[in-house]
Structures are given as structure tokens and as C-alpha cells.
Amino acid sequence: MTIQVHGFPGDAAPVARLAAALGVASAIVEVKTFPDGETLPTVPVTRATTVIVYRALNQPNTRLVPLLQAADAWRRAGVSRLVLVTPYLGYLRQDMVFAPGQPLSRDLICGWLGGAFDRLVTVQAHLHRTASLTEALGIPATNIDIGGDLAALVAAGERPLIVGPDSESRPGVQAAAMTLGTDWTAFDKQRLGDREVRLTLDDATPVAGRATLLLDDICSSGCTLAQAIHHLLQAGAASVDVAVAHALFDAEALDRLREAGARRIVSSDSIPHLTNALDLTGRLADALRSEIPA
């Protein structure tokens, strides 16, 4: 059985790192874009029976169609097993019908991916209302929890109070706190609009004089985290650091966090961003060891 790692233009560096960690060859898909926006990928010619495909699905509307086209091409070329490694899996936040007339996008996108691939590996998936990613996709799925990795990276041997921005973050924050042997808490969040929220924190939470770490899976606008930073500093926190798994935010959002008083802002390299501080190569490779023959 032959295994290779393939990826798309723009992902050459993480593809090469992952292939090197697994001790296999790598190659890049060619993608032609026609004047009307249609895409035509050409997958590498290979005798591999298993192809591990690296493709982060941020900006998913431009990435999904070439990915699905390439999956068809790999199958037609004789590849019998396709494993999708998508460090960020988009559309999982659309995990219910929020208003009449809207789709349940999670199920739509997961249906497409589950029909094209045999296994999926992702990182810190947004599973707030998704009981099982494997069930949503219909194929085996591995969701790598990096909350502890991010917390350890920022804490650097110290034991900060780890804080989640909402009640849905509680399980991940608690797990990260256990990794560091420290305590934790989480805000209760009431959403008032797309960029307006109301946060409350238990008055009994010992914040005053503490170094604190805000830990979240995704940052996009930064509005919730900025308000959380403000609350913690108002409560007497000695410092507030921010660690997010997936950096979806732009320069304006980054400025918003800094202006709110964040001391340090870090993310994993699931999405290229100037805050990247955690290299995921090792965690991804560990999750894929079972694909490599002994």
C-alpha cells in the first residue's frame, strides 16, 4: 500500500511539513480557473492507493468546489482511500435553522464531504450543537482538541485562570484547565445582534490579581472576546491573554482585541495569520499514524 500527501496551491508549506512528519511523498494539485470562475483541478499522477488530502476550509465557498472536483479525479485515477485533513472545518457554526427560510448548512456541507472522502481529520471543530462529527459526516472523523496545547503555550509554566467566552466553551476550557492543573470559569453570553452581546461572570469567580487566559475555538469579529477582556480587567485581572484555535479575524478585529487590553494574542496555524504560534503538524501526524503501514 502506497500513501502520499496531496494539497492545493497556497498550502504547499503545511503539506510538505505533514508529509515529512509521516515519512511519505507529497504533491500539489494544479487548479485552472476559467474567466467565468469555473475551476478545473488536475490531481498529481500517482500510484498511491491512499491519498491524504490537506485542505483548510476557511473561505469555504472558493475552496469546496475544487476540493470536491479533485476528490472525483482521485477516484477516477484509481485511489481507493481518501483521507481529508482539514484543520479548520467551515460551516459547522450553521448547525441549526436559525430563522424560517434558512438552510441547515452543517448537514449540507457534511453530506458533500462524507460522500467524497473515507475519513476526515480536523482540529477543534465547532460542535456546540453537533453531538457527533462522525454521525454528521457519515464517515469516521477525528476531532483533535488543542485547547490544552494553546493554554500550555501561553501559560509557559504558570497557572493562569482559564476563561471561556460563553457557556458552550465550558467543556473545552475545563479540559485545558485540567491539563495545566489550574482553575477555570466561563461567561454566560446573551447574543443581542451579529456584533452585540451581553456577558456576565459569576461574582464569586476569583479574578482580582489573577493572570487570565481567554480560550476560544474561533475568533472572527472579535467583539465577544473584546468585551470579555474588558470585563476581566474591570474585575481586577492582572493581565488577559487570548488564545484561539482558528484565527478567522482581520486586522480590524485584531486591533479591537489589543485596544480592549489583551496582552498577548495567539492562534494555531490552522489558518495562516500573524498570530500563529502553535504548529499543528505533530498533532495532525499523530492522528494519521494509523494510515501508515507498520
pLDDT digit string (tens) for the chain, length 294 residues: 699 999 999 999 999 999 999 999 999 999 999 999 999 999 999 999 999 999 989 999 999 999 999 999 999 999 999 999 999 999 998 988 999 999 999 999 999 999 999 999 999 998 878 889 999 999 999 999 999 999 999 998 889 999 999 888 899 999 999 999 999 999 987 776 666 677 888 767 789 999 999 999 999 999 999 999 999 999 999 999 999 999 999 999 999 999 999 999 999 999 999 999 999 999 999 999 999 887
User: Is residue 286 domain-resident?
Assistant: no
User: Is residue 283 domain-resident?
Assistant: no
Same domain? 184 vs 123: no
Same domain? 165 vs 117: no
Same domain? 83 vs 213: no
Residue 175 near residue 145 (C-beta atoms within 8 A) = yes
pLDDT number for residue 23: 96
Same domain? 130 vs 219: no
Same domain? 93 vs 188: no
User: Is residue 139 domain-resident?
Assistant: yes
Which residues of the chain form beta strands (DSSP E)?
Answer: 3-7, 25-28, 30-33, 39-42, 50-54, 81-86, 119-123, 141-144, 161-164, 184-186, 188-193, 196-200, 211-219, 239-247, 264-268, 276-278
Residue 134: CATH number of its domain: 3.40.50.2020
User: Is residue 21 domain-resident?
Assistant: yes
pLDDT number for residue 203: 64
Name the domain boundary from 93, 122, 144.
144
Q: How many domains does the chain have?
A: 2
Instruction: For residue 59, give its domain range.
Output: 3-144
